[in-house]
Amino acid sequence: MAITSEQNILKQVDGSATFQIDSTKVISSVTGPINVIRQRNEEPTSAFLSICVRPASGLPSTRESYLETKLKKIITPMINMEQYASTEIQIVVQILESGEREQFTCMELSCAVNSLYLALLNAGISLKASFLSSFCACKDGNIIVRPRMNELDFSTSHHVSVFSIVDGKSDELIYSDSLGKTTEDELFKVLDVISNDINKINESVRETILQGVVNDYIWKF
């Protein structure tokens, strides 16, 4: 399954990136640190994250707010929030193509996390660690990494995890979200599998970042 990603596509924002796994494509933008737009959001000791998720079609619903809270939980500990005291970091995640049915959010969440990571890097926001995400589905004890739409439909449980990256390898578990009937055994297996998969994703992502750095490097010979 193809992973494609690109950095620095949008010109008006500080950082932007797309990330695509199979038929799910997400574009994220990061602007910041900027002055807090609504005064009441200002926090004296840390940055305020405003995250906004927009669906591929239709108006934003509870599903999008659900994604927003999840993303906020994942991203907040990864950013050096204290460094940007009383500022705002404005994040927009636009889902361009949703490769899953409405009742699932795992593909979109995972792609959103990955594209946000690239966008944050592009915006030059100070991060505590690199992080990437992947997802899988389980059915009858089989684990399918990055399932397709119909594989997801017939699965008994699906999982999304985010791991930090250290020395080009997935390191610590940052976030894990499981839905459906699963056993403890299975869950640990799943985490192993996802951790391995993230190593693979990391190879492609690293290339994108490298490319991004080369493109941004203005003192070309």
Partner 1 sequence: MPSTDNTLPIPNILTLHSLFSSNPPLRPSLRPLTEPRDLKISIINKDNGNIEIKLGKTYVSCKISAIITKPFEDRQFEGIFNINTEITPMCSPLFSNGGGNDFSTSAPAIIPKTVISVEENEDNGNDVIMGGGAMMGLGVDQTSIEIMLSRLIEKAVRRSNALDLESLCIIAGQKCWSIRADIKFLNYDGNLIDAGNLAVIIALLNFKKNDIEIIGNGEGSELVIFDENQREKVGLSVLHIPLSVTFQFFSTESIERNIKGEKGVISRKIKEDSDDEDDVNDRMEVDNDEVGVESESRSSNEIIIVDATSEEELLSQGSMTITLNSNKEVCQISKSGGLNIEQGKILECCTIASKIVDKWTKQIKQVLIDEEVKNRDLKIEKELSVVNDRRTS
Query: Across-strand partners of 88?
Result: 34, 48
CA distance linking residue 206 with residue 142, whole number of Å: 30
Q: Does 136 bind partner 1 (CB under 8 A)?
A: no
Q: Does 124 bind partner 1 (CB under 8 A)?
A: no
The answer, yes or no, to whether the previous bond of 33 is cis (omega within 30 of 0) is yes
Q: Does 56 bind partner 1 (CB under 8 A)?
A: yes
Q: Does 149 bind partner 1 (CB under 8 A)?
A: no
Q: Does 5 bind partner 1 (CB under 8 A)?
A: no
CB of 167 to partner 1, least distance (A): 32
List the interface residues with partner 1, window 33-52 (CB under 8 A). 33-35, 37, 50, 52
Contacts of 73 (CB under 8 A, 6+ apart): 175
Binds partner 1 (CB under 8 A): choice among 42, 46, 54, 149: 54
CB of 215 to partner 1, least distance (A): 16
Q: Does 133 bind partner 1 (CB under 8 A)?
A: no
Binds partner 1 (CB under 8 A): choice among 7, 8, 24, 90: 90
Q: Does 96 bind partner 1 (CB under 8 A)?
A: yes
Residue closer to partner 1, measured from CB, 154 or 188: 154
CA distance linking residue 171 with residue 70, whole number of Å: 21
Q: Does 1 bind partner 1 (CB under 8 A)?
A: no
Binds partner 1 (CB under 8 A): choice among 17, 27, 107, 198: 27
Q: Does 14 bind partner 1 (CB under 8 A)?
A: yes
Residue closer to partner 1, measured from CB, 65 or 183: 65
* Interface ranges with partner 1 (CB under 8 A): 9-14, 16, 25, 27, 29, 31, 33-35, 37, 50, 52, 54, 56-59, 87, 90, 92, 94, 96-97
